[in-house]
Amino acid sequence: MPRIFSGIQPSGELHIGNYLGAVKNWVTLQRQYESFICIVDYHAITVPYEAADLRQRTRDMAISLLAAGIDPSACTLFVQSMVPEHTELAWIFNTITPLGELERQTQFKEKAGRQESVAAGLLNYPVLQAADILLYKADMVPVGEDQVQHLELSREIARKWNSRFVPDAAPFFPEPKALLTPARRIMGLDGQAKMSKSLGNTVGLLEDPKDIWEKLRPAVTDPKRVRRTDPGTPEVCNIYHLHKAFSPAATVEHVAVQCSTAGWGCIDCKKVLFESMENELGPIRERAIEVRANANKLDEILGDGAAHARSIASATIREVKELMGLSATR
């Protein structure tokens, strides 16, 4: 069975961008592929953070993922720092990754631009990501569009390592391919940038409906639609794209007509979107309450996930070291 690997940072609450761009896909794919879903806390410490909060954020992320439909009996859910082989392989990959490639990465440039002092870990983030994926020899990586560039680098690292250290023709590491959803890039409600945990422009997956409506009401729509009577262009409106992700096809069609004929005002359109979102998010919120109530069960899920992940990761590392001439015992 082909393998997939994907990760999410416990850098804030799981938002609808993560959900539509990645997590929802994981839930569908977990029964078709051997799946590894990782809460990547070593990635989350590449920007300033509060140590006192991180463990809780990691647990909250696990709760949100389970509530969203990640099923530990169908896939392996684990926390990155509980499997030390990730950082071990990352170091190895650091030695073959061109510095120039890292400096070119859009995420690095964006995140570094927001900080006064930039840690080397932020630059090396995609190297650790390559290690995350290749440790499990994953064939496919379901991610949002913002991760496609990193994944291209993972492919390059796999190619480079294979050609340097594998004596025969069969590659040791497969070149992992990105799997995207139709909602590959959800914008923040301000319409300025992609929705990101670190930008504070998110709608949380478990957020209270009242708060969601407070965010939706003033959200940016088609900027050319100034008056209620102006017809809009659905394709340029973030709310329309959210309809495509949350509303049934017939509603999406109706929305497009009502917008482009000025039949509805933007608030009417947002009310319908809010209802569609509630239909999908309501049951997820309910499940989250149940999952949160059983802390021991959560420990067990994450402990079992790490043990299984580690059994595979340690085998890969053993073979990698062997091929690279590392470790002196015979």
Is position 22 an interface residue for ligand ATP (rule: CB under 6 A)? yes
Would you list the DSSP string of 58-74? HHHHHHHHHHHT--TTT
Contacting range for ligand ATP; rule: CB under 6 A; set: 10-18, 64-72, 252-260, 318-326: 10-18
Q: How far apart are CA 186 and CA 244, in angstroms?
A: 11
In the list 3, 5, 18, 317, the residue contacting ligand ATP (rule: CB under 6 A) is 18
Hey, what's the torsion of the CAs at 133, 45, 308, 297, to 10 degrees? -140
Is position 11 an interface residue for ligand ATP (rule: CB under 6 A)? yes
Q: In terms of C-beta density within 10 A (0-12 exposed, 13-18 middle, 19 or more buried), how is residue 193 classed?
A: exposed
Question: In a 3-state reduction of DSSP, which class is residue 200?
Answer: coil
Minimum distance from residue 193 beta carbon to ligand ATP (Å): 9
Is position 308 an interface residue for ligand ATP (rule: CB under 6 A)? no
111 is catalytic: yes
Site string for ligand ATP, 119-158 (x = CB under 6 A): ------------------------xx-xx-----------
Is position 30 an interface residue for ligand ATP (rule: CB under 6 A)? no
Nearer to ligand ATP, 158 or 178 (CB): 178
Minimum distance from residue 195 beta carbon to ligand ATP (Å): 4
Minimum distance from residue 194 beta carbon to ligand ATP (Å): 4
Nearer to ligand ATP, 146 or 175 (CB): 146
* Catalytic-labelled residue, pool 194, 244, 271, 321: 194
Partnered with residue 7 across adjacent β-strands are 38
Minimum distance from residue 329 beta carbon to ligand ATP (Å): 39
Q: How far apart are CA 314 and CA 86, in angstroms?
A: 10
Nearer to ligand ATP, 203 or 320 (CB): 203
Task: Characterize the bridge pairing of strands 140-142 and 76-79.
Answer: unpaired
Is position 305 an interface residue for ligand ATP (rule: CB under 6 A)? no
Question: In a 3-state reduction of DSSP, which class is residue 248?
Answer: coil
Is position 58 an interface residue for ligand ATP (rule: CB under 6 A)? no
Q: Contact at 8 Å (CB) between 246 and 240?
A: no
197 is catalytic: yes
Residue at shortest CB range from ligand ATP? 21
Q: Contact at 8 Å (CB) between 35 and 76?
A: yes
Minimum distance from residue 31 beta carbon to ligand ATP (Å): 19
Is position 9 an interface residue for ligand ATP (rule: CB under 6 A)? yes
Q: Which residues does 115 contact at the CB level (< 8 Å), separation at least 6?
A: 47, 48, 122
Site string for ligand ATP, 179-198 (x = CB under 6 A): -----xxx-------xxxxx
Element (H, E) at 141: strand 140-142
Sheet of strand 76-79, all strands in order from the earlier edge strand to the far edge: 76-79, 34-39, 3-8, 140-142, 177-179
Nearer to ligand ATP, 21 or 72 (CB): 21
Q: Contact at 8 Å (CB) between 34 and 3?
A: yes
Q: How far apart are CA 206 and CA 201, in angstroms?
A: 15
- Subset of residues 216 to 275 that bind ligand ATP, contact rule: CB under 6 A: none
Joined tokens for residue 285 = 């919120």
Task: Characterize the bridge pairing of strands 76-79 and 34-39.
Answer: parallel
Minimum distance from residue 323 beta carbon to ligand ATP (Å): 30
Nearer to ligand ATP, 125 or 161 (CB): 125
> Which residues contact ligand ATP (rule: CB under 6 A)?
8-9, 11, 17-18, 21-22, 143-144, 146-147, 184-186, 194-198
Catalytic residues: 111, 194, 197
